[in-house]
Structures are given as structure tokens and as C-alpha cells.
Amino acid sequence: MENELKIKYDEEFKKFVDKMNQLEDEHDSKIENILEGVCSLLGISKIRVWFYETPMKEAMGQGDFIELYGVSLEPSGKTCNQFRYVTGGGNVVRYDVYGQDEGSAWTKQQEAEINTLVNTIFSYHGKIRTKHIAERLTFWDDDFGLNNMRYFMKTVGERIAKNQLVGYVACMYNLKRFSVINELVGRDMGTQIMIRYARGLEALYDSDDSVCHLGGDNFLTLFRLEKLEEVEEYLRGVPVIYNEMSGESVLISASAGFYVISDMNGIHGPDDVMEGIYVSANMAKKSEKTDTIFWNEQIKEKQFQKKKIEDIFPDALENEEFKVYYQPKFLFENEYRLVGAEALCRWCHKGSMIYPNQFIPILEQSINICKLDFYMLDHVCRDINRWIDAGKAVVKVSVNLSRKHLTDQNLLEHIMEIIDRNRVPHQYIEIELTETTTDVDFKDLKRVANGLHKYGISTSVDDFGMGYSSLNLIRDVPWDMLKVDKSFLPETEDSCDDNAKKGILLKHVIEMAQELGLQCIVEGVETEEHLRLLKKNRCYLAQGYYFDKPLPVEVFEERLECEQDSD
């Protein structure tokens, strides 16, 4: 009988050890069942396992109770053997083993077997612990004491797999003006405030839904739809105390992108949810009108178009689908003379024409715009080179350069390489740059404009008056030309009052440019009335539909020839 029992025990024990070895994700009831069997065979009623991070914590009784194995709920046996291990990392693991039999002590043989058993459980716990640590590192942001993006993705993924995502709202939020708060309270307290704000949001959820730290002042959260109003309210702003003593607080608010998951259309994985909130959160961050944007079909469609354009752009560039159109610039002091042109881009794709407003803003979100601008400059240079070779009249052509280029430290060399490779005399090229909003941009802008100036390439401020014009920008950079935006010209639908104000602004902008020794051109001249206004202000340089729309190169060449003939 003893032998039989021993064989059975060995079999069970082997199963148990095998199971332990292949465990990892299988910390399931099976293991506990087997362990229960082993405990019962060994006459063990219960094993209680404690984990202490350090011996000091053990001494203070500050440990985690991790597992309880055995057959009965309460330790019933009198005999209690205690095992204690100190790991290589200095952690302490303690096992209390209770016997089933109240009276007798363990035999030597039993003690040896219990020892083996506890050793095995110990190595099992080692693995579990390692797994916990790995999980902690993977899904936890230690600096913030919050879950991280991987945790968010895992949670969403698990809900998708269990078909339990409908009825939830995913959200990405970004704290508003947090750099100001950091300046006010310091970075460390700033971090504490971010954590408190996140914890305050978590406190609204009466579940284990959490707030995850994405990075910087960006956070992610997934919560039940019923909580949406409360969450929106919270994100609109709450005071967060940063000085417990004085009770001083700062008002923290956030811009946010939401994805209300009312069905699973278009959601195949967590990435689809992430994309939805990422795009809408970015829109909300940039928007001047609203702080919250909900992912919807329209945004999805726009996003789809954006992706499509980004996908087909490289081939389109390679296949030269982008065409240079030339919009003439006219001098009209005494007679009309075509004195220059602006190169504007048109995309001819599969027989239809795509206008810049449909693709430039998308390309401007990546360095694709730089590729396009260099392509345009190159094609303009090729055209000029061809006109010179054919002995045609040539005028100065301005090329638009996106602000995205400004951080490129080799920008100047790149521009000059294109111009010189095409053997274009420098006086035929002008670079149009738009106004800038930040100091960093401003430095780069100055560097680039100064460089171009040295090479004899003209520069102009495009859309002057549209952005946040800084008069320092005009003073500190050696511009040749100011391009006054069409918004300074009266429109038929404007009120008399508006037009009068526009008239005053136009007059002074033109005067200022002239007094600073800059040339001044007005864009968007459409009517006789516009022309009259320019003449009245002694500005004789204009570009607009009144003269010509942007023209395909062949038509523009004809214009140039007419110009030459009339000379």
C-alpha cells in the first residue's frame, strides 16, 4: 500500500514539477489542483506563502501574502513548519506549512518531501515573480506610478478579443499650457500635479478602469460610456492642489480626442482605436474653437484621404505627376508689363487635376512637402534654363518654400545646388517664405534669408498680414519683397465699414514697405476696383485673376513671347 501510494505520489509530483516548468501563462486552476493532490498525499492541509522585498521589511511585517494552497480554507493542522529563503536579489520568501493530522509531527521522510515541494513552489514563485516584474516594466510607468501605453493597448486588445469593447469610450488627453505650470511650480511638482490630475480622473470611475501615461503631458484612458459627461466636465478643468500646507492650487484642463465605441465597425485591433483618439486628440490640441473632438466618419474619411495621398505621393513624384503652373506678376504704372511669376503646384492624377489646398496641408505634416518644394524648384530651374537656351525672354520666378524646411541645416546648400546645377543665374529666382510664429522658427528664418541674400537670391514674405505678423520679422531679415495678402482687398460681401478699415490697413502696409525700401506686391487682385485702390496707394505691382490665373507652362511661355514681341 505504501509503495502504491509512493508511486502515485511520484506520478503526481512529476506532473506537478513538469507543469511548474512549462507554466508561465498557465498559472491556472490545473496547477492548484495538482498541488492540492500533492498536499493531500503528503498530509499537508495548507501552505501559506509570504513575500518580503527585504529582510528589514520582513522584520517589520511588511510583506505580500501571495498564495494559499491546500485542501481546507483555514489551517487546521497543529503542526506548522516554517521555511525561509533569501533570494539572490535579497528578497525573503517564507512558507508556513500546516499538517492535516493534528497530533503527530512530520516524519524525516515527509520533511524531505515537503522540502522538495517547497523548493519547487519556490522556483515556481520565482517565475511568477519574474513575470510580474516583467509585466510591471512592460505595462507600468515607474516615474508616474501609472500604467503606460502598452497597458492601454493590452486592455483594449483584451476587450476586443472578448467582444467587450462596445459601450466604452477611449480617450487621449493633453494638458493645456502645462509648460506654464511647470514654470510656476517646477518640474517635479509639475509631475506630481499631472499624477494627481490623472488619479482624480480615475476616482470618477467606479471600476478598475485606469488612466495611462503616454508620455510628456499626454494621457490615455478607457472608461464606460455612462461616465462620458463627467469625464468631459473634469477635463474642462479642475483645481489641483500643489501645496498641502497653504492649500494653493492650479486649474488644470485638457484638450482631448474621444472615440465612443458604439459598434465594432472598423475596429480590428487596438491600433484602430489608438489611431482614432490620436488623430482627434491632435485636432483638438490644434483647434482654436474646441478642446474636445470626437472621432467620426468625416474625420475618418479625411484621414483616409490623408493616408491615400501619403501613399501615392512617392510614386506621383517619381512619375512627375506634379506640374508647375505660372501665375504672372504685373507692373502697371504706365502700361501692363509681365515682370515675374509665381510657381504654383498642380497635381495631375489619373486624368484629374488636384489643387494645392487638397494636398499641400497634408504634405506639410511630414517632410514630403520639402521633397515637393525641391522638385518644384528643380522644375522651375529647368524651365528657365530652357527659356534661356532658346533665347526667350525670362522673368524672375518665385517658388514657395514651406516653413517645414527651416530646421534643415543644409537647406541653403540644397537650394543653391539645385539652382547652380541647372545653371540658372541667381537673379531669376525668388524664394517665398511665410511669416513665422515662434522664436525658434524666427532664428532659422533669419539664417536662411540671410544666406539666400548673400547668394543674390531674392526673398519675399508671403501672405503678409495673414499670420501673427511680427514687425521685427520685417526689420531683422533682409527681405526684398512683401507680398500683401488678398485679405487686405475689399470684397463685395464685406460691409462698408470693413472695407474702410481694410483700406486703411492696406494704405499703411504699402507705405511701410516702401519706407523700409522693400518692394510690395498685392496678391489676389481680381477687379478694376482693386487695381484703382492699388494705384491710389502708389503700389504698381500685382498678381491676381484680374490679369491671369496660374497658367500651364506652354500658355505662360506664349505670354512671355507676347511680352518680348511688344518690347
Residues near Ca ion (CB under 5 A): 400, 432, 462-463
Q: What is the 3-state secondary structure (H, E, C) of 86-109?
A: ECCCCCEEEEEEEECCCCCCCCHH
Q: Which of 211, 279, 344, 449 binds ligand C2E (CB under 6 A)?
A: 344
- Binding flag, residue 194, ligand C2E (CB under 6 A): no
Binders of ligand C2E in range 76-135 (CB under 6 A): none
Q: Which of 526, 551, 553, 555 binds ligand C2E (CB under 6 A)?
A: 526
Stretch that binds ligand C2E, among 52-60, 103-111, 292-300, 519-527 (CB under 6 A): 519-527
Stretch that binds ligand C2E, among 243-251, 256-264, 372-380, 413-421 (CB under 6 A): 372-380
Q: What DSSP designation does 79 have?
A: -
Q: Closest approach of Cβ 343 to Ca ion, in Å?
A: 9
Q: Closest approach of Cβ 545 to ligand C2E, in Å?
A: 4
CB-wise, 147 or 400, nearer to Ca ion? 400
Distance CA 260, CA 168 (A): 6
Q: What is the 3-state secondary structure (H, E, C) of 481-539?
A: EEEECHHHCCCCCCCHHHHHHHHHHHHHHHHHHHHCCCEEEEECCCCHHHHHHHHHCCC
Stretch that binds ligand C2E, among 26-34, 91-99, 383-391, 518-526 (CB under 6 A): 518-526
Helix, strand, coil distribution of the chain in percent, nearest 5: 50, 25, 25
Binders of ligand C2E in range 447-466 (CB under 6 A): 462-463
The helices-and-strands tally (H runs, E runs) of the chain is 18, 23
8 A C-beta contact, residue 177 and residue 227: no
E strand or H helix at 556: helix 553-566
Residue 331 neighbours by CB under 8 Å, 6+ apart: 337, 339, 540, 541
User: Which partner, ligand C2E, Ca ion, none, binds residue 345 by CB below 5 to 8 Å per kind?
Assistant: ligand C2E
Q: Which of 37, 544, 557, 560 binds ligand C2E (CB under 6 A)?
A: 544
Distance CA 252, CA 254 (A): 7
Q: Which of 39, 49, 211, 345 binds ligand C2E (CB under 6 A)?
A: 345
Q: Which of 9, 50, 122, 545 binds ligand C2E (CB under 6 A)?
A: 545
CB-wise, 261 or 380, nearer to ligand C2E? 380
- Tally of CB atoms within 10 A around 181: 22
CB-wise, 293 or 489, nearer to ligand C2E? 489
Q: Which of 356, 451, 467, 503 binds ligand C2E (CB under 6 A)?
A: 356
Only one residue has cell 539652382, namely: 419
Q: Closest approach of Cβ 511 to ligand C2E, in Å?
A: 22
The C-alpha angle with vertex 544 and arms to 542 and 548, in degrees rounded to 5, equals: 110
8 A C-beta contact, residue 395 and residue 423: no
Closest C-alpha to 44, from 68, 26, 23, 11: 68
- Binding flag, residue 200, ligand C2E (CB under 6 A): no
The Cβ-side half-sphere exposure at 457, using a 13 Å CA radius, reads 25
- Tally of CB atoms within 10 A around 557: 18
Q: Closest approach of Cβ 283 to ligand C2E, in Å?
A: 21
- Binding flag, residue 376, ligand C2E (CB under 6 A): yes
Distance CA 197, CA 252 (A): 8
Q: Which of 93, 171, 273, 369 binds ligand C2E (CB under 6 A)?
A: 369
- Binding flag, residue 148, ligand C2E (CB under 6 A): no
- Binding flag, residue 327, ligand C2E (CB under 6 A): yes
How many residues in the shown chain lie near ligand C2E by CB under 6 A?
23
Q: Closest approach of Cβ 561 to Ca ion, in Å?
A: 25
Q: Closest approach of Cβ 219 to ligand C2E, in Å?
A: 34
- Binding flag, residue 198, ligand C2E (CB under 6 A): no
- Tally of CB atoms within 10 A around 301: 10
Distance CA 388, CA 466 (A): 36
Q: How far apart are the first and last CA of the chain?
A: 122
- Binding flag, residue 524, ligand C2E (CB under 6 A): yes
- Binding flag, residue 542, ligand C2E (CB under 6 A): no
8 A C-beta contact, residue 462 and residue 524: no
- Binding flag, residue 221, ligand C2E (CB under 6 A): no
Q: Closest approach of Cβ 502 to ligand C2E, in Å?
A: 15
Q: Which of 58, 373, 444, 557 binds ligand C2E (CB under 6 A)?
A: 373
8 A C-beta contact, residue 332 and residue 345: no
- Tally of CB atoms within 10 A around 565: 8
Q: Closest approach of Cβ 174 to Ca ion, in Å?
A: 31
8 A C-beta contact, residue 278 and residue 172: yes
User: Which partner, ligand C2E, Ca ion, none, binds residue 550 by CB below 5 to 8 Å per kind?
Assistant: ligand C2E
8 A C-beta contact, residue 175 and residue 237: no
CB-wise, 82 or 357, nearer to ligand C2E? 357
Q: What DSSP designation does 183 have?
A: H
- Binding flag, residue 9, ligand C2E (CB under 6 A): no
- Binding flag, residue 402, ligand C2E (CB under 6 A): yes
Q: Closest approach of Cβ 304 to ligand C2E, in Å?
A: 22
User: Which partner, ligand C2E, Ca ion, none, binds residue 373 by CB below 5 to 8 Å per kind?
Assistant: ligand C2E
Q: Give residues in contact with ligand C2E (CB under 6 A).
A: 327, 344-345, 355-357, 360, 369, 372-373, 376, 400, 402, 462-463, 486, 523-526, 544-545, 550
